[in-house]
Amino acid sequence: MTSTASLNATPFPFPQLYSFPPFFTLQPHEPSRVKQVAAWLDLIRAYCAHHKLYRLDMDSAASLDLFKNAAIGRTVPRDMLALLFREAVKAGLAEWSTPKDTTRVLVLWKSVAEWAAAMVEWARNAGFTDTVMTGYELRFGDYVTDADFYGMDEVLFCRVIQHLAKQKRVVMVNESKVADELGFKFLPS
């Protein structure tokens, strides 16, 4: 399962390395493998940000052009994909969807703190401080369609709002486990 807010119609500009067949095979030489994994993590972050992908799972990720280059007939093998997921989690680029499920990740192409800062800046610039809002309005409202967080994954959105509440950047008006039912207001700086 992959989760997208809105699939970007603009083709993703893959780096030149993506067309190099050995990139799709885990390198046995450790220094080469370390560089290869780092390049994959950069590629995963950029691809997910471009397409607003928040979730990846091993069963469907292999069908994404991110992990399957039809032009050179290469696909990332499942064991390598598992390693990339583990390394993404270790690097803070992703979190396991649940602690016991190591086949699905929540992709953090921006950290929770970076998302929080973006929302605070948006609220200040758009004049929405001291205004009660719902999670639905901030995720899907007409006034946020150009914001990076438009259509944000529900789990990630709740984590960002919790982060903002702990920082005392928002006041909760209605707490809920459902992102769209949250009620809060941004506090002035």
Across the range 25-38, mean pLDDT stands at 96
Residue 7 clears pLDDT 70, i.e. is over it: no
pLDDT band at 18 (very low <50, low <70, confident <90, very high): very high
CA distance 113 to 169: 12
- For 51-68, write each residue's pLDDT tens digit: 999 999 999 988 899 999
What burial class does residue 92 get, using C-beta atoms within 10 Å of its C-beta: 0-12 exposed, 13-18 middle, 19+ buried?
Answer: exposed
CA distance 11 to 30: 33
Query: pLDDT exceeding 70 applies to what percent of the chain?
Result: 96
Residue 97 clears pLDDT 90, i.e. is over it: no
Alpha-carbon torsion, ordered 38, 42, 43, 49, to 10 deg? 160
Sheet with 94-98, side-by-side order of all strands: 3-4, 53-57, 101-107, 94-98
Q: Using alpha carbons, select from 121, 115, 100 the residue that is nearest to residue 158.
A: 115
CA distance 128 to 188: 9
